[in-house]
Structure 1
Amino acid sequence: MSITNHEPAGLGGAFLAHRAKLQGLAHKITGRRELAEDVVQEAFLKLADVAPGLPVQQPIGYCFQVVRNLAIDCRRRMMLEAGVFADGESGEHIAAPQGTPEQYAISRQNLVIVDEALGRLPARTRQAFELYRMGGLTQRAIGERLGVSAALVNTMIRDAVQALTRCRHLLEAE
């Protein structure tokens, strides 16, 4: 048989009697007074949900443990959010990545080479390749759209990839 500490108001009474100390504990862990208040409020609501007749051997210790656990969770959440989210002003002074005029010229030239290689393909092969690579369609969906089998679509995509592979040396020369 367990010995329980019977306080007149149970967990609620213990919590209210030690509210200032509980808030101090939460403040020590979170480092912010307003968060400590939120943690203590959340702890009180959690304790209010505990069955009223639940025998707790040490109600004060139980209250402190609930507040401690919630404060640690709050602290972890703060640290995670600080690592993921940046304040609005932190990115204002970072320059947008920009290429040099030479890099733009090379990129344009590479696009012309790729476009010419694809332009030499039959129209249906080019369309199948574009629908697959840029449109994200499946080979079956492309076949239905073009009125051909999925196997033929596979062959057309392979032909387009081979045509681009043959022009790779032009792209690497730059």
Structure 2
Amino acid sequence: MTAWAIPHPRWLSLHARIRRITGRHDAEDLLQAAVQRFLERGPEGVQNPDAYLVRSARNLAVDQARRERHGAVAPYEGDDVGSVPCPSPQPDAVLMARQRLQRLREGCAQLDARTREIFLLHRLEGLSYRDIALRLEISVSAVEKHVSKAICFLTEWVMD
């Protein structure tokens, strides 16, 4: 038996974990596919084979669920990728988007300075509520309230 072979009790344990995590009845198939990936990749460099197999099976389950939901995407078989039609937005859709963006800018200018700063830190810079709270030395709850206030105001402002 090699270092990466999975003894039967371990297989059952991994199978049970994958089934519990993914909630799928095809956990054994997922585990087999994960083992195949593992073998193709090679065991070198994998510090925790069990964790690798569980994560790989979970990823496979997520991919499978997406395919079931949206249908499989057929690969493009042509030679020239540039010939694939890429739909561009209609001029009226572009105009409407620009108008909404302008309304959003105007609405942001109407927010009080603290709420605007917190909203922009969260939405534009991608900071978490916790990071904003630490940076501005306020509570996470205060950050949540400012973001909520901004969203409510801007939703009404843009829709008017």
TM range (shorter): 0.3 to 0.5
Look at both structures and tell me which one has the larger radius of gyration over its CA atoms: 1
Q: Larger relative contact order (C-alpha < 8 A, sep ≥ 6)?
A: 1
TM-score by length of 1: 0.44
